[in-house]
Structure 1
Amino acid sequence: MTHLRRPRPVGVLAVAAPVLLLAVLAAVVLLFPTAGDARTTSGLRSEIDRARGREQQLSSTVARLEALEGTAAKAVAAAQGRLADVRAQSTAAQSRLARTEGDLRATRAHLVRLRRRLSEGREILAEVLRARYAYEKPDLVEVVLSSRGFSDLVERLNFLKRVQQRDTLIVAGVRDARDQAVGDERRLDRLRTDQQREARRVAAQRDAIESMTAGLEQRRAALASARDARRAALSNTRAGRRRAERSLSRLEAQQRAAARQYTTPAASSGGGGGGGASSGGPWAIPWPIVQCESGGVNHPPNSAGASGYYQFMPQTWQALGGSTPNAYQAPKAEQDRLAAKLWNGGAGAGNWDCAAMVGITG
């Protein structure tokens, strides 16, 4: 007993030791048939309680990680949507820039052609003018005489005038077209500069959002990995707790079987020590404990004061309401009744030192 601990009398141990040792060994073998079950019920219950606490902690952690992963997944989806928009804007800006650059190249090529054409027209007009003034002017009489009539004369003068006007118009038209091409080139050059700036801005924005999206995806993946790790730990913890519960159930069943088997043993023969008389069962507590404590003998007080079939200490006996100064002086029925009270359905097993020795715990 916890509060019944006492030194054993030498005489009692000398007489009962062989029988008690064999009985204890037999009880231990029956209670613990395998090495895997060699754990106390209290130790298994502590292990189960710790596992349940760990399960609650891991379940809470998994729930928090799942919530964080859900938030991160929403952020990734929003970032990906924004990235798709910016990529579309970047593609459109690049397309506009490509069209502008194509228009600019075409305008420059057209301008080159116009300049060449203007140069050629000017050369032709100069040549015509030089040819016109290279000869002496015919006098009026010669012109009149060479004409077929006045109408022919007027026609010739109008023709020369129209030729000169046409050449002048051609040169002027080419010059205007050149000036317009120059204006178009400048306008397209400015437009290209603006579009290049816009394309760079959109590309920078796209790169920033891509980087942000990649970071969010990494965070979501890290949260998912942490969640999976906690889930695996939770699964392992739950499996360990269930194994411990099965071990506890087997151990308790074995203890109950052992207790039932040894609760009503055959009547013991008279034991030695202090002249106490022996008595048979039934017993108020499992027989292996009784056998270890007293061997089923109603011992008188030992050097520590413990006595009776159940080895009550005097103060414990009195606290339980014993009718005699010492337990051994009372009938076995009274000792059984008070031992059952102290046993309390197994909750008081720790009051006997031998309970732990034979593997029976509360």
Structure 2
Amino acid sequence: MRLRHVMAGAVLPLVLCASLWLVLPLGSQATTPQGRAASLQQKIQTTRGKIGRRKGTEHVLTSDIQRWSSKINRLQGSISTLQSREGRIQDDLDARRAELVQTQKDLRSERARLARLRARLAEGRKILSRRLAELYEADKPDLITVVLNSNGFADLLERGEFLGRIQDQDNTVIKLVRSAKADATSTAARLDKLEARQQQLTAIVLQRRDQVAAVKNQLIGTRVGYAQTRAGKANALSKVRTERKSLETHLDELQKESDKVQAQLQGGVGLPAGPIHGGSGRFIWPVNGPITAPFCERRAWEACHPGMDIGVPTGTPIRAADGGRVAIAGWEGGYGNYTCIQHTASLSTCYGHQSVLKVHVGEQVTQGQIIGLSGSTGHSTGPHLHFEVRVNGAVTNPMNYL
């Protein structure tokens, strides 16, 4: 029994320790400045990788848009040609329509004229029929019969005049019928030609209309394809750029937090300043390190890099290149923590992406004085110092002064 109590007393503390081990937070690296720094660096590297992939996608989409722009330029030439052709077809169509209207007008006129001729012919035939019947019934008198049956000279004259009128009337009726028949025949032939011409013109007009419709559909299809392709590429590029900018903002926040942790680890004094490095110019080097980006280097997001980048670890002390008055000391957009020192009325130097600022606006500094610690604040892809030389506010090559 006593042994049981002893064993129970020994096991109970072990159980309590195990329970506390499961419940209490672990003293992991994430709770220490070193662990936080490592975690932030991992997140920074991951975010940079995402940004790099987005930039690659932007490059591909930009190239695709350029290729489509070339295709669109070629298509625009075809569209212009089709538009010219459409204009010519429309002009031809208008001319054909005008000709068709005139033909239909002529056709109506000829049909009315034919109706009149047919009426005249019918009337002439009636008159001729009646005259033939009269001649048949009365037997046509000749000149001898009229002379022999005349009672005197006056009666002879009257009979001769009557005979002449009968002959003239007969000739007039015969000519009328003959002319009306010939005119009706020629008019019918002209009508046939006009009707054939009308049918031909109608077919031409319909064909031209079909051509105009086909050209318009081709133009519409080309434009719709152009709009859809460009819109799709532009939307995709806009989306990727938005994602990339969001990642860059997140990267800036991570980098600022990382710089703060780094400053905590270094006790707020940074790395050793190192010796002053002078050159052949009037300025000393603000930090000692390799040039990772020369002045006016062309980048995807800028045509000319305004300054030069010097690769140094976060927390490296930054020296004033020359003495002067601090004109700017604070956060400046993509520069992050940014300091500018006015050396003369026209000449100044500027220092970007600092993790810590050690001067304030209006302060007088001497050449070689520590003005801040390097970092990666703002739009930066890694720890370095962005160094600028400005003349009358415009950037110039720093190597001309170092």
Which TM-score band (shorter chain)?
0.5 to 0.7
For the pair 1:95 / 2:98, whether they are aligned, the reply is no
For residues 152-179 of structure 1, the C-alpha deviation after alignment (integer angstroms, 9 at most, x for no partner) is: 5314411331233123213312321320
Q: Summarize the Cα distance change of 1:31–1:156 in structure 2 as closer, same or farther, 3 Å threshold.
A: farther
In the TM superposition, what are the counterparts of 1:297-316 in structure 2 within 5 Å?
none
| Structure 2 counterpart of 1:59, one-letter code | T
Aligned-pair CA distance for 1:23:
5.7
- Name the counterpart of 1:237: 240
Which amino acid in 1 is paired with 2:313? Answer: G
Deviations 1:108-133 (A, max 9, x none): 42342133123112113213323532
Which of 130, 133, 143 is matched with 2:150 structurally?
143
Task: Look up the match of 1:345.
Answer: 313
Equivalent position of 2:84 in the other structure: 78
Does 2:216 align with 1:213? yes
1:47 aligns with 2:45: no
- Which of 136, 147, 162 does residue 159 from structure 1 map onto? 162
Kept in 2: contact 1:90–1:206 (CA 8 A) = no
- Specify which structure has the higher proportion of helix: 1
Describe the shift of the 1:139–1:208 C-alpha distance in structure 2 as closer, same or farther (beyond 3 A). Answer: closer
Q: Distance in 2 between matches of 1:88 and 1:128?
A: 60
Shift in CA distance, 26/171, structure 1 to aligned 2, threshold 3 Å? farther
Q: Distance in 2 between matches of 1:257 and 1:155?
A: 147
Q: Per the alignment, do residues 233 and 181 of structure 1 end up closer, same or farther by CA in structure 2, a change over 3 Å counting?
A: same
Structure 1 counterpart of 2:123, which letter? R
The letter of the residue matching 2:235 is A
- In the other structure, the counterpart of 1:3 is none
Q: Percent identity?
A: 22
One-letter amino acid of the counterpart of residue 229, structure 2:
A
1:130 aligns with 2:139: no
Partner of 1:251: 254
Structure 1: how far apart are the matches of 2:140 and 2:163? 15
Partner Cα separation in structure 2 for residue 90 and residue 38 of structure 1:
79
**Higher mean C-alpha displacement, 242-251 vs 156-165:** 156-165
Residue 118 of structure 1 contacts residue 175 of structure 1 at CA under 8 Å; is this kept in 2? Answer: no
Between the aligned partners of 2:96 and 2:45, the Cα distance in structure 1 is 70
Amino acid at match of 2:93: R
Give the distance between the partners of 1:181 and 1:227, measured in 2 at CA.
68
**1:204 & 1:86 partners in 2: Cα distance?**
11
In 2, Cα distance between the equivalents of 1:105 and 1:29? 107
1:114 corresponding residue in structure 2 = 120
Q: Is the 8 A contact 2:125 2:177 kept in 1?
A: no
CA gap of 1:151–1:64, structure 2 versus 1, over 3 A, is farther
1:52·1:241 contact (CA, 8 Å) conserved in 2? yes
Deviations 1:281-307 (A, max 9, x none): 9778xxxxxxxxxxxxxxxxxxxxxxx
**Matched residue SS, 1:143:** coil
- Contact kept? 2:121, 2:180, Cα under 8 Å: no
Q: Distance in 2 between matches of 1:142 and 1:70?
A: 102
Moved more, 206-215 or 181-190: 206-215
- Please give the alpha-carbon distance, in whole angstroms, between the structure 2 residues aligned to 1:115 and 1:140: 36
Give the drift of 1:227.
0.9
The 3-state SS of whatever aligns with 2:313 is: helix
- Report whether the alignment pairs 1:185 with 2:188: yes
Whether the aligned pair in 2 keeps the contact of 1:107 and 1:185 (CA below 8 Å) is: no
Q: Which runs of 5+ in 1 are unaligned?
A: 1-17, 266-280, 285-342, 347-360
Residues 146 and 160 in structure 2, CA contact (< 8 A), matched pair in contact too: no
Q: Which amino acid aligns with 2:44?
A: T
Structure 1 residue 19 displacement after superposition:
12
Deviations 1:296-335 (A, max 9, x none): xxxxxxxxxxxxxxxxxxxxxxxxxxxxxxxxxxxxxxxx
State the 1:54 CA deviation. Answer: 2.2
TM-score computed with the length of structure 2 as normaliser: 0.52
The alignment status of 1:171 with 2:174, answered yes or no, reads yes
The more displaced of 92-101 and 42-51 is: 92-101
The corresponding residue for 2:267 is 264
Cα separation, partners in 2 of 1:53 and 1:22, compared to 1, 3 Å: closer
8 Å Cα contact 1:93/1:199 also seen in 2:
no
Query: Per the alignment, do residues 165 and 28 of structure 1 end up closer, same or farther by CA in structure 2, a change over 3 Å counting?
Result: farther
What do the CA deviations read for 1:19-41 (whole angstroms, capped 9, x no partner)? Answer: 993563254897799xxx99722
Distance in 1 (alpha carbons) for counterparts of 2:230 and 2:195: 51
TM-score when normalising by structure 1: 0.58
Structure with the higher fraction of residues in strand conformation: 2
CA distance in 1: counterparts of 2:208 and 2:78, whole angstroms:
21
Change (3 A) 1:170 1:45: same
Contact 1:55–1:234 (CA<8 Å) still a contact in 2? yes
Structure 1 CA distance for aligned equivalents of residues 244 and 54 of structure 2: 6
Structure 2 CA distance for aligned equivalents of residues 73 and 141 of structure 1: 98
Structure 1 segment 8-47 matched on structure 2, within 5 A: 21=27, 24-27=30-33, 40-47=43-50
